[in-house]
Amino acid sequence: MGLWREALYQPKPTGDLRALLAYRSTFQIVVGTVHAVTSRGQATYLNFAEDWQRDFTARIRRDALKLAGIPATTALLAGLWWLIAEGRLDAWLVGVPAVALAVLASARLRGGARSRLSLAGWPGFIALFLRESLAGGIDVARRTLGRRLHIQPGFSSYRTRLQDPRARILLANCISLLPGTLAADLDGERVELHLLDTRDDPDPQLQRLEQAIARLFGTRLETPDA
């Protein structure tokens, strides 16, 4: 239904390489069985057939593997909180900040971070987190579940002003909560975005998110025009 009726967004089998080439440079979901896993240099390769040079292979940069750890940790801790709270919705008023604190503490311990988080930045970040999570869910439902799809998907690039690598990772994870946006890649100061509608300008909401994360890490940002 909705968005998933479109051929562009349906899962693609890795065995049909010719069909996959038609979707080159787009964000896709692929389905297949991993034949082998190889690590070389700064990347890990998932080979979906014996001949990696001719068949489908997925490349994952090492820094992307670090990025993937935060969503998994968040999902695990959120699931534990849901069990502890016995599924009560009102418990998330305490659960959201508790899970966020635990995730960031886990990232600091795992990465050996030395910088301290600012307690003054927490209220603004949590308020933004809750507000944009709700707005993002409503926006996606409005765009994709109606009779007409109000989308014009595409890619865009955003240069983050955050200097701390952990702050950049948090930014990339939180971008997916914003209406109509998904962080597809993080490469230094550049975040590759997948947009549901390229006619919308995501920069204002990204700048607000950056400011909230900067206050959380106790840092100051350069002006957008600098």
Is residue 167 in some structural domain?
Answer: yes
Note whether 44 and 87 are same-domain residues: no
Note whether 19 and 90 are same-domain residues: no
> CA–CA distance from 27 to each of 11, 12, 41, 52, 163 (Å)?
11, 11, 25, 21, 27
Tokens of 108: 């600091």
Note whether 56 and 70 are same-domain residues: no
All residue ranges of the chain with pLDDT < 50 are 1, 112-114, 226
Is residue 10 in some structural domain?
Answer: yes
Is residue 107 in some structural domain?
Answer: yes
Is residue 225 in some structural domain?
Answer: no
Q: Tens digits of per-residue pLDDT, 26-43?
A: 777 888 888 888 877 777
Residue 137 DSSP SS3: helix
Note whether 125 and 178 are same-domain residues: yes
Examine the fold and report which residue of 46, 61, 76 is the final residue of a domain before the chain moves on: 61
In the prediction, which pLDDT does 159 show?
Answer: 93
Note whether 124 and 207 are same-domain residues: yes
In the prediction, which pLDDT does 36 show?
Answer: 82
Note whether 110 and 206 are same-domain residues: yes
Is residue 226 in some structural domain?
Answer: no
In terms of residue numbers, what domain contains 39? 2-61
Please name the residues in contact with 129: beta carbons below 8 A apart, sequence gap of 6 or more: 96, 100, 174, 177
In the prediction, which pLDDT does 24 show?
Answer: 76
Examine the fold and report which residue of 37, 61, 85 is the final residue of a domain before the chain moves on: 61
Examine the fold and report which residue of 42, 61, 80 is the final residue of a domain before the chain moves on: 61
Note whether 54 and 84 are same-domain residues: no
Note whether 117 and 180 are same-domain residues: yes
Q: Of 129, 56, 55, 61, which Cα lies nearest the Cα of 96? A: 129
Looking at the structure of the chain, the number of domains it has is: 2
